[in-house]
Amino acid sequence: MQSKRTRLDRFISQHTGINRKDVRSMLAQGRLKIDGSLATDIHQFVDEFTHVMLDEKTLQAKTPVYIMMNKPTGVVSATKDNKHTTVIDILKKTVNKNETECLDIDNLHIVGRLDFNTSGLLLLTNDGRWSRLLTTPEQKIAKLYQVTLANSINKYYIDAFAAGMYFSFEDITTRPATLEIISSQVATVTLVEGRYHQIKRMFGRFQNPVVELHRIAIGNLTLDVGMEHGDWRELVEQEVKSFL
């Protein structure tokens, strides 16, 4: 997603048709307010969440939205789908029930998708800069999954995951992953990347099918205890900033 930051004079011109050269005089006349204060510099930057007013009329008043959801299996990590229920469909069905203030649902996008049959922590936002921060490979933000397997696992899995595995189709070797055995057929896996069906393919090397896959955490953000499948809530400011 491209940056939506632009200079104030360009923003005013795009939204009103006023010549950019005339914006300077508008500032001198005190006609422009940015985030509640009089604008003073035509060169200052405006982003998609800057509150902009001209002659006490609002030109832009978009609020950032950050949501965590416990995605159920059988739901698509998409905003639209003609065949299956999407996470946006879940939001639209429950927004009134949760008595939440009007959300900018139609402009939300998904931060790091989950497969159709994978459940757990999913993030949604309308803030492109924030989602880029979470998904860029250079950040190496860890993602924690709980995996239930068809067959028993042993200590040899731990070493194989830590060493990384070569995927010939992409001609890549996965980054080291941490596997912790919880019980004979349950483990947690921590990844800092997200290759196509990576966890299922890694266990596939041992011919051990994944029965259930559930994402527990992204970075320092952990799915709320007791949050049922399909439940969601808005993140608090501290949680949003924990990724910065």
Catalytic-role residue among 47, 81, 115, 231: 115
Query: 57-60 and 178-183 as β-strands: parallel, antiparallel, unpaired?
Result: unpaired
Answer yes or no: is pLDDT of 30 > 90.
Answer: yes
Q: Over pLDDT 70: what percentage of the chain? A: 96
Count of residues for the chain? 244
pLDDT in tens, 117-152: 999 999 999 998 899 999 888 888 999 999 999 999
The dihedral over CA atoms of 199, 200, 204, 208, expressed in degrees to the nearest 10, equals 100
Three-class secondary structure of residue 91 per DSSP: helix
Average pLDDT over residues 67-95: 92
Alpha carbons 55 and 45: distance in angstroms, whole number? 19
Residue 96 confidence class, pLDDT cut points 50, 70, 90: low
Domains 6-60 and 66-241 share a fold: no
Alpha carbons 58 and 170: distance in angstroms, whole number? 49
Mean pLDDT of the chain: 91
39-48, 103-112, 142-151: segment of lowest average pLDDT: 103-112
Answer yes or no: is pLDDT of 32 > 60.
Answer: yes
Task: Report long-range pairs for 79-86 (Cβ below 8 Å, ≥24 apart).
Answer: 79/108, 79/109, 79/110, 84/116
Answer yes or no: is pLDDT of 167 > 90.
Answer: yes
How high is the pLDDT of residue 3?
54
Distance of CA 36 to the CA centre of its chain: 29
Q: Tell me which of 3.40.50.720, 3.30.2350.10, 3.40.630.10, 3.40.50.620 is the CATH number of domain 66-241.
A: 3.30.2350.10
- What DSSP letter does each residue of 75-108 carry, written as one string? -BSSS--SSS-BHHHHHHHHTTTTTPPPP-GGG-
DSSP, res 227 = P
Q: Which residue carries 């939300």 as its tokens? A: 108
pLDDT in tens, 175-224: 999 999 999 999 999 999 988 899 999 999 999 999 999 999 999 999 99
pTM given for the model:
0.84
159 is catalytic: no
Residue 1 confidence class, pLDDT cut points 50, 70, 90: very low
Domain boundaries, the chain: 6-60, 66-241
Range with top average pLDDT, 11-25, 101-115, 121-135, 172-186: 172-186
The amino acid that residue 82 corresponds to is N
Query: Does residue 185 contact residue 148 with C-beta atoms inside 8 Å?
Result: yes
Answer yes or no: is pLDDT of 115 > 90.
Answer: yes
Tokens standing for residue 217: 């955490």
User: Fold for domain 6-60?
Assistant: 3.10.290
